[in-house]
Amino acid sequence: MNGKGVPGKSVALIVSAIALIVAFHVAQYGCAPVASNVSTDPNTSGDVTTSEEPNASGDDAAAEEPNASGDDDSTAEEPNADDDDTTTEEPNASDDDTPTDEPEEPFYVITGPRATEDLGFDDKGYLLGAQDGNIFRTAYNGTPEIVLAGAGGGGHRLITGIMMLPDGDIIYCDDQSGSMYRADLTTGAKQVVLSGLSYPNGLEMDLSGLVYLAETHANRIRRINVDTGVSATVVSGVPGPDGVSFNPDYDTLYISSSSNGTIYAVDIDATGQAGQLRVLASGFPSHLNAVAVDVNGDIYIAAVQAGQIWRLTPDGQTRTLLAQANDMLASVQWGSGIGGWDAKTLYIANRQSSDRIHALYVGVEGKHRLYP
């Protein structure tokens, strides 16, 4: 080497010193020392950066962070996070109005729909409800519009049952006139199916298309052919029947009482003959309203004055309080699964409100039915 370089002896001493340091470090810590500006993350800069990865598997593979900024002292907790301070709570939410499978809050309020006593769904993605004698339809997150003006009810009298038929017409009950009507929502034409009823109330349909009606003040259940108007009493002696709903096999009919907080059951055979009325469960709040049944056979019950929704097992042995509100919760109905009305959510009419309903995500669909 020339005179300007490091003497060979000095180089040898330096190399020996480094070797001793490395040997000491290996003996002490089990590995050679690593420079502090070396990053194990291939996508970060050479600066000293701590990168936290919630999705790392825990093995020795290097985690890839495509959106890491590489700035000093930054912590990348979300691989897809932007550089701004925006927090995305629902990364899987789509741009349309369809709800996610599991809402953040299972029991929530939907503002807009008009449904003070009962509600139903059509096959076009609308919720049907009534207020002040008119029948409304409301799209999910939409504005209610009148589809049948002057349907009935009015004042303290109510339209107490609404159901769409397989042919697209609807039937509904008018407490004021004591009648069941059938209406074509396209033309607005309506006709009386059955009159002279004593507070016609909850509706249910069997798999043959016959309709079961709770006649509250007559303490009975009627079966009605809505094409001919022919009806017959199927069950009598039910104290204040309000809601009616079949089990998934359509051979047991559940009936809620608006007078004594009891759920009744009656078996219906293949010929339509009813068995003995029996108590399935009692001890609920006194004024029960609608009932609905899921695909597993569990029964959902609205206790209207208590503002409660209950679930009852088919044997009547186990009950669970699912929701409590400061409103009067009336009809319960599964969403149609069309237009954003979730098929695993119960939608609940609110007797105390003119512009909102409640929704309760239960995570299971209702039983098979002929109507939406």
Q: What is the pLDDT of residues 11-37, one digit of tens each?
A: 455 545 555 554 544 444 444 444 433
More confident residue, 369 or 94: 369
Residue by residue, DSSP assigns 121-136 as E-TTSEEEEEETTEEE
User: Quick one: pLDDT band at residue 104, thresholds 50, 70, 90?
Assistant: confident
Q: How confident is the model at residue 372 (pLDDT cuts 50, 70, 90)?
A: confident
Per-residue pLDDT band for 140 (boundaries 50, 70, 90) equals very high
pLDDT above 70: residue 84: no
Separation CA 371–CA 113 (nearest Å): 20
Of 274, 368, 264, 362, the C-alpha closest to 316 is: 264
Residue 154: its pLDDT value, please? 63
317 versus 69: which is more confidently predicted? 317
Q: Residues 317-324: what's their mean pLDDT? A: 98
For position 265, what pLDDT does the model report? 98
Place of tokens 């679930």: 311
What single-letter amino acid sits at 322?
L
Of 79, 23, 17, 21, the closest CA to residue 52 belongs to: 79
Which secondary-structure segment (H or E) carries 12? helix 8-29
Q: How much is the pLDDT for 32?
A: 46
Reading across the β-sheet that carries 190-194, which strands appear in turn? 159-164, 170-174, 179-183, 190-194
pLDDT at 134 over 70: yes
- Find where tokens 């798999």 sit: 207
Say if residue 48's pLDDT is above 80. Answer: no
Output the six-digit token pair for 361.
Answer: 């995500």
- Domain 107-361: which CATH class? mainly beta
- Looking at residue 146, its pLDDT comes to 96
CA distances (Å), 69 to each of 44, 65, 287, 316, in order? Answer: 7, 9, 61, 59
Question: In this predicted structure, what is the pLDDT of residue 141?
Answer: 94
**91, 90, 115, 122: which is closest to 341 by C-alpha?**
122
Position 356 pLDDT exceeds 90:
yes
Mean pLDDT of 270-288: 96
Question: How much of the chain exceeds pLDDT 90, in percent?
Answer: 67
Give the start-end residues of each E strand in 188-276: 190-194, 200-205, 211-215, 220-224, 231-236, 241-246, 252-257, 263-267
The number of C-alpha atoms within 13 Å of 326 and in the hemisphere containing its C-beta is: 0
Residue 357 predicted with pLDDT over 70:
yes
Beta-strand relationship, 329-334 and 319-324: unpaired
Residues found in the chain: 372
229-252: per-residue pLDDT in tens?
999 999 999 999 999 999 999 999
**pTM of whole model > 0.75?**
no
- pLDDT at 130 exceeding the cut of 80: yes
Locate CATH 2.120.10.30 in the chain.
107-361
| Tens-place pLDDT, residues 150-199 | 998 766 568 999 999 999 999 999 998 999 999 999 999 999 999 999 99
Whether the CB-CB separation of 289 and 322 falls below 8 Å is answered with no
Highest mean pLDDT (candidates 86-90, 148-152, 317-321): 317-321
Cα Dmax for the chain: 122
256 contacts 242 by C-beta, under 8 angstroms: yes
CA dist 350 and 336 (Å) reads 19
Calculate mean pLDDT across residues 2-15: 48
